[in-house]
Amino acid sequence: MADTLCRSCGNSLRHLFVDLRTSPLSNNFLRPEQLNQGIPYYPLRVFVCEICLLVQLEQFESPQDIFEEYAYFSSYSSSWLVHAKNYVDTMIPRLSLDHSSSVVEIASNDGYLLQYFLPHNIPVLGIEPARNIAKHAEDKGISTLSQFFTLAFAKQLAMERGKADLVIGNNVLAHVPALQDFVAGLKELLSPEGTITLEFPHLLRLMIDRQFDTIYHEHFSYFSLLSVCHLFERYGLTVYDVEQWPTHGGSLRVFARHAENTKQAVTPRVTEVMREEITYGLQEVSTYARFPEQVKTVKEQVYRFLFQASREGKQVAAYGAPAKGNTLFNYLGVGTDYIRYAVDKNPYKQGLYMPGSRIPIYAPATIQETKPDYILILPWNLKDEIEQELHYTREWGAKLVVCIPQLVIY
């Protein structure tokens, strides 16, 4: 690893955070004709930078290979849509946005968020590299450019369309291998008194709640507030506020501005979250070295459950086919020998197979047809929403299962 450099500060990476063996790309779902073909596996080894504290993977595939055709549609989660609408309803008065403002969202997906600005006549622009998803946004009347966000592209946008008063990036920062170029692009696109808001899963929650399944090759980096502030400061950006949200297992929403724009004072919440991270020990490399033992504990719990269910002749199905489920199954080394099938509401995934485990993916109606004994909820961050959807399975006594932060059967 001596030659692998931190993508935030350029320091040599020497400290291992966790080793999850090898895995295929988590969103490379297989078509039936691919089942007899080999697919590439890559190491899933994560490191922490001792200088800037960024937790990160090595890069094995380019964003173009991963995201130009993508299987994740944000609008299939009703709770995420509520979260998006609440964000818009809050930000419009907070930033005094109106018809003369400019809002740009990076990785705007299928328009799940920008659609809520439209009734307010606030000009919006989506940037979404996955062409298949960008088309869905265009169909909703949301102007969308199918491009990757870079410094060069930001300069072009600023020149052609003007700078943005609000730049949004929800769950995109982790997907960016060229972090320095990306953050320089944010700086370039932002208007003098504008605000950037970025949401991302909080590394602190990942560690406390053993969320190792959120680690996969499409997520190049894993952020604490400490590491984000370190990164932003080097590009003339200041994090002036932060909010903690339960989404995706515990996320941060950071608010950033130009360092020279002092109209927005830094709130006490920034200090509070940093203090929480420091109390846990995120400023010490030795803290990160304890994570593998926590991962091992979860692994042993899930193994025991699947082995016992198999011995008793019980049928186990999975609800959802998210990327985190692929990390879990590949790390455990299980397939249809323990998990008969998965279901997913996304028609894009139905009829495909999970990469590595080759577990088939069907429509949710399959659960009613086959009546499994156990249903393993893979998108545990949506557990409450899914539990409501699966209330009918109580008719035959099915039990629901989650694995993170520990195995729970209920």
Quote the distance between the C-alpha of residue 393 and its chain's center.
29
CA distances from 254 to 189, 204, 264 (A): 17, 15, 13
The Cβ-side half-sphere exposure at 253, using a 13 Å CA radius, reads 15
Placement of tokens 């507030």 in the chain: 225
Q: Whole-angstrom Cα distance, residue 216 to residue 207? A: 15
Instruction: State residue 2's pLDDT score.
Output: 47
Neighbouring CB atoms inside 10 A of 365's CB total: 9
With residue 226 as reference, give the H or E element that holds it: helix 225-233
Q: Is 69 helix (H, G, I), strand (E, B) or coil?
A: coil
Q: Tell me the domains of the chain and their CATH numbers.
A: 66-288 (3.40.50.150), 302-409 (3.40.50.720)
Q: Whole-angstrom Cα distance, residue 58 to residue 61? A: 9
Distance between start and end Cα atoms, the chain: 43
Structure tokens at 43: 């190491």
The CA radius of gyration of the chain, in Å to the nearest whole number, is: 21
Q: Whole-angstrom Cα distance, residue 361 to residue 363? A: 7
- Counting other chains too, the contacts that 396-401 makes at CB distance below 8 Å and 24 or more residues apart are 396/371, 397/373, 398/371, 398/372, 398/373, 398/374, 399/373, 399/374, 399/375, 400/374, 400/375, 401/305, 401/316, 401/374, 401/375, 401/376, 401/377
Instruction: State residue 1's pLDDT score.
Output: 39
Neighbouring CB atoms inside 10 A of 179's CB total: 21
Quote the distance between the C-alpha of residue 135 and its chain's center.
21
Structure tokens at 68: 């130009």
Instruction: State residue 79's pLDDT score.
Output: 87
With residue 79 as reference, give the H or E element that holds it: helix 78-94
Q: At what angle do helices 179-189 and 151-161 cross, to 10 degrees?
A: 10
| Phi, psi torsion values for 294, nearest 5 degrees | -70, -40
Instruction: State residue 346's pLDDT score.
Output: 92
pLDDT digit of tens for each residue in the chain (410 aa)?
Answer: 346 899 999 999 999 999 999 999 998 999 999 999 999 999 999 999 999 999 999 887 766 666 655 555 666 778 899 999 999 999 999 999 999 999 999 999 999 999 999 999 999 999 999 888 999 999 999 999 999 999 999 999 999 999 999 999 999 999 999 999 999 999 999 999 999 999 999 999 999 999 999 999 999 999 999 999 999 999 999 999 999 999 999 999 999 999 999 999 999 999 999 999 999 999 999 999 999 999 999 999 999 999 999 999 999 999 999 999 999 999 999 999 999 999 999 999 999 999 999 999 999 999 999 999 999 999 999 999 999 999 999 999 999 999 999 999 99
Instruction: State residue 77's pLDDT score.
Output: 79
Strand partners, 46: 18, 57
CA geometry: angle 348, 353, 354, nearest 5 deg: 100
Instruction: State residue 100's pLDDT score.
Output: 98
Structure tokens at 138: 């265009």
Q: What is the DSSP letter of 99?
A: T
> What SS3 string covers 345-410?
CCCCCCCCECCCCCCEEECCHHHHHHCCCEEEECCHHHHHHHHHHCHHHHHHCCEEEECCCCCEEC
- Locate the DSSP E strands across 107-189: 124-127, 144-145, 164-170
